[in-house]
Structure 1
Amino acid sequence: MNIALLSDMAADGFGDRVVVGTRDAGITAMDLRSMSTAGAEVIRRARADAVVYLAVNGPAFPVAMFSAARAGVPLVPVNYRLGREQLDALLANHRSALAIADPEHVSILEQAGLRALTTEQWLDQTRTTTPASVTDGPSDGIDAPAVIIYTSGTTAAPKGVLLRNENLTSYVFGSVEFANADATEAALVSVPPYHIAAVANVISNLYAGRRTLVLEQFTPQEWLQTVRDECVTNALVVPTMLSRIVESDADKSVPSLRNLAYGGAPMPSRIIEQALRLWPDVGFVNAYGLTETSSTIAVLGPQDHRDALASDDERVRTRLGSVGRALPGVRIEIRDEGGAVLPAGHLGRICVSGEQVSAEYAGVGRVVDEQGFFDTRDKGFVDDDGFLFVGGRADDTIIRGAENIAPAEIEDVILRHPDVLDVAVVGVPDEEWGQRIEAVVVVRPDAGRDAEGLRAHVRATLRGSKTPERFVFWDQVPRTETGKLVRRHVVDRLVSESAPASVNGA
Structure 2
Amino acid sequence: MDAGFVLRTLARRKVLTPAAPARMVRQLNALRRWGFGLYGEMRSAAGRDPGRVAIIDERRQVTYGELDLRVRRLANALRAERGIRVGDRVGLLCENSATMVEAMMAVVALGAQAVLVNTGLGNAQVETVAHDQGLQLLLHDEVFLGMLAAVPPNLPRLSTERLEELIHRSPSADISPPAQPGSIVVLTSGTTGAPKGARRRNPAGLGPLATVVSRIPLNAGERMFVAAPLFHTWGLAALQLCLALRGTIALNRRFAPANALASINVHQCTSLFAVPVMLQRILEAPAVAKAPTLKVVAVSGSALTGPLATRFMDVYGDVLYNLYGSTEASWASIAIPKELRAAPGTAGRPPRGTRIAILSSAGALQPTGMVGRIFVGNDMLFEGYTNGTGREYYGDLIATGDVGHLDPDGLLFVDGREDDMVISGGENVYPVAVEDVIAELPQVREVAVAGVPDQEFGQRLAAWIALHPGEAVDADAVREYVRHRLARFSVPRDVYFVTALPRNATGKVVRRQLFPS
For the superposition of Structure 1 and Structure 2, which TM-score range results when normalised by the shorter chain?
A: 0.7 to 0.9
Unaligned 5+ segments in structure 2 are 1-34
Aligned AA (2:446): D
Q: Of residues 32, 43, 48 in structure 2, which corresponds to 1:8?
A: 43
1:373 matched to 2:397? The reply is: yes
Q: Of residues 319, 327, 334 in structure 2, which corresponds to 1:291?
A: 327
More deviation in 29-38 or 67-76? 29-38
Q: 1:169: Cα distance to partner?
A: 7.1
Q: 1:252: Cα distance to partner?
A: 4.2
Question: Which aligned pairs between 1:24-423 and structure 2 lie closer than 5 A?
Answer: 25-45=60-80, 46-48=82-84, 49-106=88-145, 108=148, 111-131=152-172, 133-135=174-176, 137=177, 139-142=178-181, 146-166=183-203, 171-172=208-209, 174-176=211-213, 181=219, 183=221, 185-280=222-317, 283-294=319-330, 296-305=331-340, 308=341, 317-318=342-343, 320-358=344-382, 360-369=384-393, 371-423=395-447
Counterparts of 1:164 and 1:406, CA distance in 2: 32
Give percent identity, aligned residues only: 29
Counterparts of 2:66 and 2:358, CA distance in 1: 45
Q: Contact (CA 8 Å) 2:272, 2:296: kept in 1 or not?
A: yes
- The size of the alignment, in residue pairs, is 474
Q: Contact (CA 8 Å) 2:462, 2:492: kept in 1 or not?
A: yes
Unaligned 5+ segments in structure 1 are 309-316, 497-506
TM-score (norm 1): 0.87
Counterparts of 2:496 and 2:59, CA distance in 1: 49
Indicate how the Cα distance of structure 1 residues 121 and 176 shifts in structure 2: closer, same or farther if over 3 A, else same: farther
Indicate how the Cα distance of structure 1 residues 265 and 180 shifts in structure 2: closer, same or farther if over 3 A, else same: closer
Summarize deviations over 1:191-228 as a string: whole Å, max 9, x none. Answer: 22321112111111111122111122222222222221
Summarize deviations over 1:268-314 as a string: whole Å, max 9, x none. Answer: 3222222212122x5211111111123x3321124434xx3xxxxxx
Q: Contact (CA 8 Å) 1:220, 1:250: kept in 2 or not?
A: no
Counterparts of 2:165 and 2:219, CA distance in 1: 29
Summarize deviations over 1:27-55 as a string: whole Å, max 9, x none. Answer: 11122222222222223222231221112
1:375 partner SS: strand
Indicate how the Cα distance of structure 1 residues 486 and 25 shifts in structure 2: closer, same or farther if over 3 A, else same: closer
Q: 1:170: Cα distance to partner?
A: 5.8
Q: Contact (CA 8 Å) 2:127, 2:152: kept in 1 or not?
A: no
Counterparts of 2:66 and 2:432, CA distance in 1: 46
Counterparts of 1:303 and 1:430, CA distance in 2: 42
Indicate how the Cα distance of structure 1 residues 188 and 31 shifts in structure 2: closer, same or farther if over 3 A, else same: same
Counterparts of 2:36 and 2:296, CA distance in 1: 29
TM-score (norm 2): 0.85
Aligned AA (1:446): G
Q: Contact (CA 8 Å) 1:297, 1:330: kept in 2 or not?
A: yes
Counterparts of 1:200 and 1:170, CA distance in 2: 14
Aligned AA (1:88): E
2:185 partner SS: strand
Aligned AA (1:70): A
Summarize deviations over 1:385-427 as a string: whole Å, max 9, x none. Answer: 3211111101100111211111111111111111111111111
Counterparts of 1:111 and 1:235, CA distance in 2: 38
Q: Contact (CA 8 Å) 1:293, 1:357: kept in 2 or not?
A: yes
Counterparts of 2:300 and 2:321, CA distance in 1: 9
Q: Contact (CA 8 Å) 2:349, 2:412: kept in 1 or not?
A: yes
Question: Which aligned pairs between 1:431-442 and structure 2 lie closer than 5 A?
Answer: 431-442=455-466
2:470 partner SS: coil
Counterparts of 1:472 and 1:18, CA distance in 2: 49
2:456 partner SS: coil
1:251 partner SS: helix
1:360 partner SS: coil
Counterparts of 1:147 and 1:134, CA distance in 2: 19
Matched with 2:489 is: 465
Q: 1:176: Cα distance to partner?
A: 4.4
Q: 1:445: Cα distance to partner?
A: 2.1
Aligned AA (2:332): I
Counterparts of 2:135 and 2:252, CA distance in 1: 31
Aligned AA (1:424): A
Q: 1:173: Cα distance to partner?
A: 5.2
Summarize deviations over 1:455-501 as a string: whole Å, max 9, x none. Answer: 111111123221111111111111222221222222x32xx5xxxxx
Summarize deviations over 1:164-200 as a string: whole Å, max 9, x none. Answer: 32479763353348x97455x4211112232111211
More deviation in 50-59 or 479-488? 479-488
Counterparts of 1:93 and 1:377, CA distance in 2: 23
Q: 1:347: Cα distance to partner?
A: 1.1
Q: Contact (CA 8 Å) 2:452, 2:460: kept in 1 or not?
A: yes
Indicate how the Cα distance of structure 1 residues 134 and 447 shifts in structure 2: closer, same or farther if over 3 A, else same: closer
Indicate how the Cα distance of structure 1 residues 95 and 153 shifts in structure 2: closer, same or farther if over 3 A, else same: closer
Summarize deviations over 1:322-369 as a string: whole Å, max 9, x none. Answer: 111112222111111111122322211110112201161122343343
Indicate how the Cα distance of structure 1 residues 341 and 403 shifts in structure 2: closer, same or farther if over 3 A, else same: same
More deviation in 410-419 or 25-34? 25-34
Q: 1:264: Cα distance to partner?
A: 1.8
